[in-house]
Structure 1
Amino acid sequence: MSDKKIKIYNGNIITPYRIIKNGTVVIANGLITGVMEGNAEVADAIEIDAKGKYIAPGFIDMHIHGGGGYDFMDGNVNSFLKIAETHVKYGTTAMCPTTLTSELSNLLETLEHYEQANKLNTTGSQFLGMHLEGPYFSKNQSGAQDPRFMRDPDPIEYKKVLYHSHAIRRWSAAPELKGALEFGRYLKSLGVIAAIAHTDAIYEEVLEAFESGYTLATHFYSAMSGVSRRNAFRYAGAIEAGYLIDEMDVEIIADGIHLPPPLLKLVYKIKGASRTALITDAMRATGMPPGKSILGNIHDGLEVIVEDGVAKLMDRSAFAGSVATADRLVRTMIKDADVPMMEAIQMITSTPARILGVSNTKGSIVEGKDADLVLFDSDINISMTIIQGVVVYNADNELQKNSLEITV
């Protein structure tokens, strides 16, 4: 947090209600202290000319595994810090580091590394708490997750994990598994978000899970049941349940590949911007050149190939992870799904902030909230990222640095 007063002017400010053209945002002590039209006079302030770019709330990524060549499951603190530093370049000011299915010991170790990294993280995206993705999943919907570690919810195990760390913000599980409803109720009692994921559940099972505390659908459509036949009868699946339960939130990997434009349009049409959060679900290869990579722990993770803007299994039979960045999500929703700018921004700012329970401090440009801001042009190219009043990324400086390196 910076105690310096900053004035950002000549920008198009995306507020919860409108876009203020040629507006000014004032920051002091890490908070937004003013949002106004025109080039307002602000005494003793460092001035930043937005040069007609958009000024938006910082992007919040609720579901992310890695980037820049690192994964949160690598088994060290440095990976957490490097991932956070990678994603600020793409406008992400806050994130929920996410695990993969694993042995209990690996899960506990990752939680310890989170606690340590959270204290050291000063130059990257803020951490808003861990997202545990698994290991309570359906093996029929394992996707790229390792089915060896998938199991039913065990009260002794998950209570040990939740007692071990208070940093868990959300936990994803398949609600049809034995003990999953009790698990959801327990998470709810602790204020931890329960989400359905990697599930073969039918509508009736999801509805019961919703009533037991499961309020979010993890990477909607991906590793999730749709309409199926059982003994000649059709049943609606988890996807249909996500649509039919109005109060259920959904998150989508809006890279245009995991969900093609028609499905992005459908989600937006039915769920709307207020119930849809954009996530990267990014893995270690994000921000890196195409080619071979590793999903999960660098030492024993799954080898994958990155091509066509997505990670795939080596036999190309299925996707194995996303290499999307937050700016790409917004760009895709606007250009390919025909979503208005304000609502596309809402999906990656105020909506995830509400879901995560941090909307009182983050997610919108409002006086008194954290000065988490991102500046970008009409093509959503990020020029500056600010976290609690500190400029953590400036594209102009980056270009100058790269130019200097080339000259030398």
Structure 2
Amino acid sequence: MKSIIRNGKIITNEGILPDGSVVIEDGVISHVGNWVGEIPGYDTIDATGCYVAPGFIDLHVHGGGGHDFMDGTVEAFEQVLHTHLLHGTTSMMPTTLTSTPAALTRVLDTYEKIAGTNDTGVGLLGLHIEGPYFAMNHRGAQDPRFIRAPDPDEYISLLNRYTCISRWSVAPELEGALNMGLYLREKCIIASIAHTDAVYEDIRLAVQHGFTLVTHLYSGMNGVIRRGAYRFAGTVESAFLMDCLDVEIIADGKHLPVPLLQLIYKIKGPDRIALVTDAMRAAGTTHTESILGNLENGLPVIIEEQVAMLPDKTSFAGSIATADRLVRVMWKEAGIPLSDVIKMMCHTPAKIAGVSKHKGELSTGMDADIVIFDESVQIQQVFIGGTRKI
């Protein structure tokens, strides 16, 4: 299949090319630049002056469209993928929640069933296991019934049984967590800092033991803390200080207000920030009540003011955001240049996931995963491998 996207504002890592074109051949981008004119045998796609960007990449998503990956069914997986595809996501890391071992293995089994054959075409970048090895006092909406310290018999068994695990979020200060970090690094699996009570010294050790990413910065972790008269840098400050750490942020405008989004951008820069939805099953719906996790033993959630919360409103419970909302908030509300926003939504997540050689930017030789959106970041068209999906 050969096609040309013309009459678009092409967003590249270097900036925005007005009135540009993207040439696609057999699912791969063969040219990005000024309008090349009609080419015989190529379909012409008119972007109608809209923005043309790489497909969005979401490294942290639990659900959407009324379904959750923790449901552990092919139908749930397909519906979540389809919901986020409608909003521009072309690749993602399905994410689990703290749960029973049986519920987790059900999700892993389902992932392996559909990894190469899902009907939506959305690329699966491996499974992200979030929990159960977390600090209880920073659990957020993670189910306290199942939170515990790292168990090497458990995680080694899972990692030997399943090859689809690409990331594991852990509180690094827990007993056994540093050894787990080393094991994850040995297996080339992303070790991510999450739901943690760690201070600077803990994070420094975590980095030395293989941790490279911070899960939803500011959420489920401490900032500066006091012990008696003394102050200690928390996980947030450690992430800012350590240039080697990548961070993900839930840029829905609720988990983090605009000033904090601007602060993170100013300190870490677009090459170290991945925008994520952390979406739960109510994303893409009009539901006012929902369940976080699987339907059997998940936690009740209410939806108010465009965000999911526990019924007592003591904690957010994931988000109901989709990727287009993240782009809109960062660009329109936080005032960050659109090319940098797209880098945080596409290129940096691809780099973290280890797929940046073929995904995450519009350039020659890259997969033709492409999103076209208007000035309000309303999705107009989505292509995966050069095939129009939306």
1:305 to 291, 298, 302: 302
> Given the alignment of the two structures, is residue 295 of structure 1 paired with residue 317 of structure 2, yes or no?
no
1:163 to 160, 164, 183: 160
Does the 8 A contact of 2:246 with 2:272 survive in 1?
Answer: yes
Taking the aligned partners of 1:243 and 1:128, their CA distance within structure 2 comes to 27
Mapping of residues 95-244 of structure 1, within 5 Å = 95-244=92-241
- Structure 1 window deviating more from structure 2 (270-279 vs 230-239): it is 230-239
Provide Cα deviations, 1:335-370, integer angstroms capped at 9, x if missing partner: 221100000000010000111110001000011110
Give the letter for the 2:73 counterpart: N
- Structure 1 window deviating more from structure 2 (18-27 vs 135-144): it is 18-27
Does the 8 A contact of 2:74 with 2:110 survive in 1?
Answer: yes
Give the letter for the 1:197 counterpart: A
2:378 to 370, 381, 402: 381
Secondary structure in 2 aligned to 1:274? helix
Aligned to 1:359: 356
Taking the aligned partners of 2:299 and 2:80, their CA distance within structure 1 comes to 19
> Given the alignment of the two structures, is residue 48 of structure 1 paired with residue 45 of structure 2, yes or no?
yes
Taking the aligned partners of 1:299 and 1:199, their CA distance within structure 2 comes to 27
Taking the aligned partners of 1:9 and 1:39, their CA distance within structure 2 comes to 9
2:88 to 72, 76, 91: 91
CA displacement at 1:39 relative to structure 2: 4.4
Taking the aligned partners of 2:46 and 2:379, their CA distance within structure 1 comes to 15
Provide Cα deviations, 1:95-125, integer angstroms capped at 9, x if missing partner: 0000001122221111110011223313242
Does the 8 A contact of 1:56 with 1:373 survive in 2?
Answer: yes
Secondary structure in 2 aligned to 1:198? coil
Provide Cα deviations, 1:68-112, integer angstroms capped at 9, x if missing partner: 000000021111111111111111000000000112222111111
Does the 8 A contact of 1:78 with 1:117 survive in 2?
Answer: no
Q: Provide the TM-score with structure 1 as the length reference.
A: 0.94
Does the 8 A contact of 1:371 with 1:389 survive in 2?
Answer: yes
Taking the aligned partners of 1:231 and 1:190, their CA distance within structure 2 comes to 41
Taking the aligned partners of 1:127 and 1:57, their CA distance within structure 2 comes to 16
CA displacement at 1:232 relative to structure 2: 2.9
Provide Cα deviations, 1:134-162, integer angstroms capped at 9, x if missing partner: 11100111100001111111111101110
> Given the alignment of the two structures, is residue 317 of structure 1 paired with residue 314 of structure 2, yes or no?
yes
Give the letter for the 1:181 counterpart: L
1:64 to 61, 65, 68: 61
> Given the alignment of the two structures, is residue 30 of structure 1 paired with residue 31 of structure 2, yes or no?
no
Aligned to 1:400: none
Taking the aligned partners of 1:383 and 1:286, their CA distance within structure 2 comes to 19
Does the 8 A contact of 1:224 with 1:239 survive in 2?
Answer: yes
Taking the aligned partners of 2:177 and 2:275, their CA distance within structure 1 comes to 26
Taking the aligned partners of 2:111 and 2:332, their CA distance within structure 1 comes to 36
Aligned to 1:268: 265
Taking the aligned partners of 1:247 and 1:180, their CA distance within structure 2 comes to 19
Provide Cα deviations, 1:288-329, integer angstroms capped at 9, x if missing partner: 104110100022211111110000111222211200110000
Q: Provide the TM-score with structure 2 as the length reference.
A: 0.98
Taking the aligned partners of 1:120 and 1:298, their CA distance within structure 2 comes to 25
Taking the aligned partners of 1:177 and 1:317, their CA distance within structure 2 comes to 24
- Structure 1 window deviating more from structure 2 (20-29 vs 243-252): it is 20-29
Provide Cα deviations, 1:214-260, integer angstroms capped at 9, x if missing partner: 11000000011111112332111101100010110000000011000
Taking the aligned partners of 2:314 and 2:168, their CA distance within structure 1 comes to 28
Q: Percent identity at matched positions?
A: 53
Does the 8 A contact of 1:12 with 1:22 survive in 2?
Answer: yes
Does the 8 A contact of 1:280 with 1:325 survive in 2?
Answer: yes
Taking the aligned partners of 2:382 and 2:340, their CA distance within structure 1 comes to 20
Secondary structure in 2 aligned to 1:319? coil
Does the 8 A contact of 1:371 with 1:387 survive in 2?
Answer: yes
Q: Structure 1: which 5+ runs fail to align?
A: 394-408
CA displacement at 1:390 relative to structure 2: 1.0
Does the 8 A contact of 2:38 with 2:44 survive in 1?
Answer: no
Mapping of residues 319-338 of structure 1, within 5 Å = 319-338=316-335
Does the 8 A contact of 2:13 with 2:340 survive in 1?
Answer: no
Q: Structure 2: which 5+ runs fail to align?
A: none
Give the letter for the 1:345 counterpart: I
Secondary structure in 1 aligned to 2:380? strand
